[in-house]
Chain A
Amino acid sequence: DTAVSQTPKYLVTQMGNDKSIKCEQNLGHDTMYWYKQDSKKFLKIMFSYNNKELIINETVPNRFSPKSPDKAHLNLHINSLELGDSAVYFCASSQGGGPLNTIYFGEGSWLTVV
């Protein structure tokens, strides 16, 4: 059983399209995250949700909108996709909501914008 699962794993789409990446965790964690890994493999936090509430929102274009329908799900919707959005997006979760709890990652969603 996959603890943090993301869909789709691979996504190729044209510029200007709108796409969503879904994430679900079955670990019972109450904090979820989205990280972006760029072409240079640099990983950076985008968003963090605790019990469905946004607690971290780094400098991310407002074309990116996270949605957390419940604490086990955190979806990422991207509007008007640009070439620079091509990256691997990782969903993650942690237990307890505190920043010092180990973060577990999903397998990543590889987005290519053409």
Chain B
Amino acid sequence: AQTVTQSQPEMSVQEAETVTLSCTYDTSESDYYLFWYKQPPSRQMILVIRQEAYKQQNATENRFSVNFQKAAKSFSLKISDSQLGDAAMYFCASVGRSQGNLIFGKGTKLSVKP
């Protein structure tokens, strides 16, 4: 079975500051991908960043980067220079080769203060 846990229901960050959202996962598969999705109030699910488990290098996308600790099964998201538009629900998700579908965490609501 595959599980994804986000232990922070809500987080807050000051505009222009840096925030880290936590995610841990559990999987029996050796081949899997990890994702962070953003869901703004519009409810659309937007892919933020993805990480292939076989890659040791942490993925980065502009202001978004991950800290992937495979042995610890940890996959945190760091948002640098936070902007008001970053305010949203953030979902961590994983998919394994044999499993076939995304398993989501329960989400972290991020607020950005001006």
Task: List residues of chain A with CB within 8 A of the CB of B44.
Answer: 105-108
Whether the Cβ atoms of B104 and A44 lie closer than 8 Å is yes
Whether the Cβ atoms of A100 and B95 lie closer than 8 Å is yes
Number of interface residues of A (CB under 8 A): 26
B97 within 8 A of A: yes
Interface residues of A in 94-108 (CB under 8 A from B): 98-100, 102-108
What residue in chain B is nearest A97 (Cβ atoms)?
Answer: B100
Whether the Cβ atoms of B89 and A99 lie closer than 8 Å is no
| Contact among B32, B47, B95 with A104 in the assembled complex (CB-CB below 8 Å) | B47
Whether the Cβ atoms of B47 and A102 lie closer than 8 Å is yes
Cα distance, A103 to B34, chains bound together (Å): 11
B45 within 8 A of A: yes
The interface bits of chain B over 9-41 (1 if a CB of A lies within 8 angstroms of the residue's CB, else 0) are 000000000000000000000011101010100
Whether the Cβ atoms of B102 and A45 lie closer than 8 Å is yes
| Contact among A40, A44, A92, A98 with B97 in the assembled complex (CB-CB below 8 Å) | A98
Task: List residues of chain A with CB within 8 A of the CB of B107.
Answer: 41-42
B91 within 8 A of A: yes
A48 within 8 A of B: yes
Most buried by B among A98, A103, A108: A103
B98 within 8 A of A: yes
Q: Measured between C-beta atoms, what is the minimum distance from A97 to chain B in Å?
A: 10
Whether the Cβ atoms of B45 and A56 lie closer than 8 Å is no
| A contacts, CB < 8 Å to B | 33, 35, 37, 40-45, 48, 55-56, 88, 90, 92, 98-100, 102-108, 110
Q: What are 17 sample pairs from A and B whose C-beta atoms fall under 8 A apart?
A: A43-B102, A45-B101, A45-B102, A56-B100, A92-B45, A98-B97, A99-B96, A99-B98, A100-B31, A100-B32, A100-B33, A102-B33, A103-B95, A105-B44, A105-B46, A108-B43, A108-B45
The 5 closest A-B pairs by CB, nearest first: A105-B45, A99-B100, A45-B101, A43-B104, A107-B44
